[in-house]
Amino acid sequence: MSEKLPKKDENFSEWFSTVLSAAEITDFRYPVKGMGIWLPHGFAIRKNVLKIARELHDETGHQEVLFPLLIPESFFQKEAEHIAGFESQVYWVTQGGLSPLEVKLLLRPTSETAIYPMFKLWIRSHADLPVKVYQIVSIFRYETKATKPLIRVREITTFKEAHTAHATLEDLMQELDTAVWIYSSIFDRLLLPYLISKRPDWDKFAGAEYSMAFDTLTPDGKTLQIGTVHNLGQNFAHAFDIQFENETGSHEYVYQSCFGISERVIAALISIHGDDRGLVLPPEVAPFQAVIVPIYYKEKEKEVREVSEQILSKLRKAGLRVQFDDRDDLTPGAKYYYHELRGVPIRVEIGPKDIHANKVTLVRRDTLKKEQVSMKSMIERIQQLLDEITENMKTTAEQKFKERVFSAKNIEEVKKIVTSRSGIVEVSWCGEEGCAHELEEEISGSILGTPVTEKEIAVSECIVCQKPGKVVVRIARAH
Amino acid sequence: MSEKLPKKDENFSEWFSTVLSAAEITDFRYPVKGMGIWLPHGFAIRKNVLKIARELHDETGHQEVLFPLLIPESFFQKEAEHIAGFESQVYWVTQGGLSPLEVKLLLRPTSETAIYPMFKLWIRSHADLPVKVYQIVSIFRYETKATKPLIRVREITTFKEAHTAHATLEDLMQELDTAVWIYSSIFDRLLLPYLISKRPDWDKFAGAEYSMAFDTLTPDGKTLQIGTVHNLGQNFAHAFDIQFENETGSHEYVYQSCFGISERVIAALISIHGDDRGLVLPPEVAPFQAVIVPIYYKEKEKEVREVSEQILSKLRKAGLRVQFDDRDDLTPGAKYYYHELRGVPIRVEIGPKDIHANKVTLVRRDTLKKEQVSMKSMIERIQQLLDEITENMKTTAEQKFKERVFSAKNIEEVKKIVTSRSGIVEVSWCGEEGCAHELEEEISGSILGTPVTEKEIAVSECIVCQKPGKVVVRIARAH
């Protein structure tokens, strides 16, 4: 708590790691690299974010389940592209108790190869379809790159993965739309701006037909992939022999999708909305939406405490998540600092003067603006203020994001934008892999892919070879 | 769903494994022994049980956190008794990607050795105490005994473990009382009967001063340990060097407790309340508290559906978790069978006759009794009925349990009770370990320990050596 925060826009990386520990989100001093602890405040935010994810999955007919963590080697190896994509990243369990295991087991790096053998058992006929399940679990990846809390870790503790199987390609395509809708809705409710891109073929999920990804931007101008949706076609169905009997009695392979988000969503939430005083949390996911800070003066202490408690009970009755900070070893100023750091959307100050005037003082976290309201209109004003904060946070985040999405006509321009860490650049491309790699190398950035849901963007000639362009691709520096 | 259930009292073990898959609780056909999947219905029950556990932990000032799964070998080895107790049961991760790891990591079999190194970092002064945290995680134990779904598994997927540190022994003792209160409250709300015993010294948690355990009985007369509370004294504090500066400026070691429950609680819930038709769920944790089954007759279908939907919306508005089973490929009879198997507390039947009489038919799951109520008093009656079901399930479970707790005066009597699988026997004991082991061997049962919270029980001479008895111990066959 006594750590001083660096300026967010000057040194984002330092700011990020300092705010994580200062605001008691995570503690990455754990003795294994890339693995950390969710502290109580971080855990509470995580819980509220997952609540939104669960609601949206349940509402669209996905059912929550839980699969084992350990996968036998032989199952992991069934889909050729999949194993090629993941084998350098898996942790292996080779010993049980004091003796070696007969069958080597791996810690799931993702759960296709744990789930699909069961799909084979569950799916018999078209009446069993669709199957739509999801789970929220830890996955493990033996990262060789530098690890970063919440962004690149070896234990991903908050992996929400959904897996579905369908009778027809048409049903699959509809499910992919639903998946995109679920993730868009989650990010919208978290007030996070994003672009959806179809990843280039060489960057798709190992085993997929194609992958779509949601990218946002952190304040250092790097992209952060916060969600992916994969069309698996019938690849895994063939590898795991998942067939069903259709209405005419013949057997067909199912069509599948999977889609995932992780604690990177929370990294984005913190990075995008935070400021030099610490977290700024959207009211929907803030563990406490308001905190009451009493201003005690001699002789008036009892009265201030009584009024504070009345207000606490009123606000709770109105359905708000509110805390009364009655600690006696901190000054009001120290409490302001503490709750600002933790991102509480509204501070309610109550002192003898407020009571005398039958008012309270409200301070909003996003703009730090102060106002006095009458006791009578307090609840209504707080509810209104929470909406205003939400609206303002959304607008601010979107505006900053839009300012960092550029288009460019030549490589020099792209280079300038990308190396100055300014964001994402859209350029025209002929579709040839060679040109794409040349571009990536030239500017030390990577291609995010082509726009998925946005309206058409005008295409001119390929920025590399100058042949007629086919599509627009996005390029940026990535985390 | 088409599996026929064996009679519960004739073949409990078969009944248990059949009901788990038939009612879609778990699927243990996963290709790794002792590891299974939580299916949607099982997951929903689990979620409601955990909701109770979370409420009670939060209410008593415990904070939810999440620690890494992997523990470095050197940390695991810090407490000598602890490693001796667990080393034959741990899974070892020895390889990351394609190369061996420099430091061997183990999958937590319980989290003391992951959590206490962080306690050392977090605790500086008396002002940092107490620390009271809990987490709900998967733990791993390489069981060599036969595995049983939810009862003896290799991945325990639902381990709620709490860990606390205190400045004084007095504070620790108070925390142990709180822990016993939390678990008693959880089991009471799940309508599960239990006895609390202080485990004999040779059966305590590895590294503890002493352990208390909650035991219940499954229908085959075996005890099932469903919760444990451990006084760790200062053992781990010494091993992990967890000291704090007290008010006078000198350094002291903290006093610690830990306490855990697992999916065995759900095994008990299913075993104790279920019957020959399947699950019987306490209304508080049933995913759906009532199901509406429409009885369609030609021409009246539309009307029945409309009334059903009105009732659904009314009951939901009243805060009940209700489902409308409108599937068109099942007869009402098949639906009755389906929801009885899944343990839905109340079935609401609605047919043209009911509508004509402005009534609905209610069938309670626990007694299968049927009654008609007027549409007007329906909500009130359903709420009342849920309370009656809760009360009846509690009384029934307690009565069955009490009938299986015996006292005995000689070894022959104990033998007779224990080998006929009748339950728990209380006998007097001199306190010598030799006598205890002789008794255990003689009757092939095990000693649960001495009563913790119950009122005093008269002690006569030791059942083995006939010297004056000191305490009463409990003995039974265990899972």
Q: Tell me: do A242 and A143 sit in the same domain.
A: yes
Distance from CA of residue B341 to its chain's centroid?
Answer: 21
Task: Choose the closest CB to A40 out of B64, B94, B107.
Answer: B64
What is the average pLDDT across B156-184? 98
- Where is the domain boundary, B273, B308, B332? B273
Residue of B nearest to A157 (CA): B68
Q: Tell me: do A19 and A120 sit in the same domain.
A: yes
Q: Tell me: do B467 and B330 sit in the same domain.
A: no
How far apart, in whole angstroms, are the C-alpha atoms of residue A344 and residue B388? 43
Cβ atoms A163, A236 nearer than 8 A: no
Q: Is residue A455 scored above 80 in pLDDT? A: no
Beta carbons of B64 and A44 less than 8 Å apart: yes
Model confidence band, residue B298 (pLDDT cutoffs 50, 70, 90): confident
Task: Choose the closest CB to A37 out of B65, B88, B90.
Answer: B65
Rounded alpha-carbon distances, angstroms, from residue A279 to A286, A292, A349: 10, 18, 20
Which amino acid, residue A117? P
Model confidence band, residue A46 (pLDDT cutoffs 50, 70, 90): very high
Contacts of A105 in chain B (CB under 8 A): 32, 91
Beta carbons of B27 and A70 less than 8 Å apart: no
Q: Tell me: do A316 and A419 sit in the same domain.
A: no
Got the DSSP string for B207-225?
T-SEEEEEEEE-TTS-EEE
Q: Is residue A262 scored above 60 in pLDDT? A: yes
Beta carbons of B40 and A88 less than 8 Å apart: no
pLDDT number for residue B299:
85
Beta carbons of B66 and A37 less than 8 Å apart: yes
Per-residue pLDDT tens over the stretch B271-291: 999 999 999 999 999 999 999
pLDDT number for residue B479:
87
Beta carbons of B95 and A95 less than 8 Å apart: no
Q: Tell me: do A182 and A331 sit in the same domain.
A: no
Q: Tell me: do A89 and A168 sit in the same domain.
A: yes
Q: Tell me: do B207 and B295 sit in the same domain.
A: no
Per-residue pLDDT tens over the stretch A163-199: 999 999 999 999 999 999 999 999 999 999 999 999 9
What is the average pLDDT across B43-66? 98
- Where is the domain boundary, B325, B356, B385? B385
Lowest mean pLDDT among A298-302, B30-34, B290-294: A298-302
Model confidence band, residue A230 (pLDDT cutoffs 50, 70, 90): very high
pLDDT number for residue A21:
96
Rounded alpha-carbon distances, angstroms, from residue B350 to A354, B321, B368, B375: 59, 18, 17, 11
pLDDT number for residue B2:
52
Q: Is residue A89 scored above 80 in pLDDT? A: yes
Q: Is residue A1 scored above 80 in pLDDT? A: no
Residue A284 lies in a domain: no
Beta carbons of B68 and A98 less than 8 Å apart: no
Residue A87 lies in a domain: yes
Can you list the positions of beta strands (E) in B42-90? 63-64, 70-72
Instruction: Please provide the average confidence, as pLDDT, over all residues in chain B.
Output: 95
How far apart, in whole angstroms, are the C-alpha atoms of residue A473 and residue A428? 6
pLDDT number for residue A456:
65
Q: Tell me: do B100 and B157 sit in the same domain.
A: yes
How far apart, in whole angstroms, are the C-alpha atoms of residue A94 and residue B95? 8
Residue B462 lies in a domain: yes
Beta-carbon contacts of residue B397 (< 8 Å; ≥ 6 apart): B191, B192, B193, B272, B273
Cα B400–Cα B406–Cα B409 angle in degrees, nearest 5: 170
Pairing between β-strand B290-294 and β-strand B346-350 as defined by DSSP bridges: parallel
Cis peptide before B130 (omega within 30 of 0): yes
Q: Is residue A368 scored above 90 in pLDDT? A: yes
pLDDT number for residue A135:
98
φ, ψ of residue B253 to 5 degrees: the values are -80, 145
How far apart, in whole angstroms, are the C-alpha atoms of residue A236 and residue B241? 51
CATH number for the domain including B87?
3.30.930.10
- Where is the domain boundary, A388, A418, A439? A388
Per-residue pLDDT tens over the stretch B245-258: 999 999 999 999 99
Model confidence band, residue A257 (pLDDT cutoffs 50, 70, 90): very high
Task: Choose the closest CB to A155 out of B64, B69, B88.
Answer: B69
Residue B424 lies in a domain: yes
Task: Choose the closest CB to A117 out of B31, B38, B107.
Answer: B31
ipTM of the complex: 0.96
Residue B284 lies in a domain: no
**Residue range(s) defining the domain that contains residue B369:** 290-385
Residue A6 lies in a domain: no
Contacts of B40 in chain A (CB under 8 A): 63-65, 133
What is the average pLDDT across B291-310? 93
Which token pair is B428? 């007097």
Q: What is the number of domains present in chain A?
A: 3
**A367/chain B closest Cα distance in angstroms:** 30
Higher pLDDT, B93 or A460: B93
Beta carbons of A64 and B87 less than 8 Å apart: no
Beta carbons of A94 and B95 less than 8 Å apart: yes
pLDDT number for residue B220:
92
Lowest mean pLDDT among A291-300, B161-170, B269-278: A291-300
Q: Tell me: do A146 and A294 sit in the same domain.
A: no
CATH number for the domain including A454?
3.30.110.30
Q: Tell me: do A198 and A338 sit in the same domain.
A: no
φ, ψ of residue A412 to 5 degrees: the values are -60, -45
Which amino acid, residue A397? A
Task: Choose the closest CB to B67 out of A37, A103, A107.
Answer: A37
Beta carbons of B144 and A97 less than 8 Å apart: yes
Contacts of B144 in chain A (CB under 8 A): 97
Task: Choose the closest CB to B88 out of A37, A39, A97.
Answer: A97
Model confidence band, residue B127 (pLDDT cutoffs 50, 70, 90): very high
Beta carbons of B142 and A96 less than 8 Å apart: yes
Q: Tell me: do B199 and B240 sit in the same domain.
A: yes
pLDDT number for residue A306:
95
Model confidence band, residue A2 (pLDDT cutoffs 50, 70, 90): low
Interface test with B, best of A24, A28, A32 (most B CBs within 10 A): A32
CATH number for the domain including A336?
3.40.50.800
Higher pLDDT, A315 or B415: A315
pLDDT number for residue B318:
97
Residue B3 lies in a domain: no
Which amino acid, residue A386? L
Q: Tell me: do A160 and A305 sit in the same domain.
A: no
Q: pTM (2 decimals)?
A: 0.96
Residue B53 lies in a domain: yes
Can you list the positions of beta strands (E) in B234-311? 243-245, 251-253, 255-261, 290-294
How far apart, in whole angstroms, are the C-alpha atoms of residue A444 and residue B112? 45
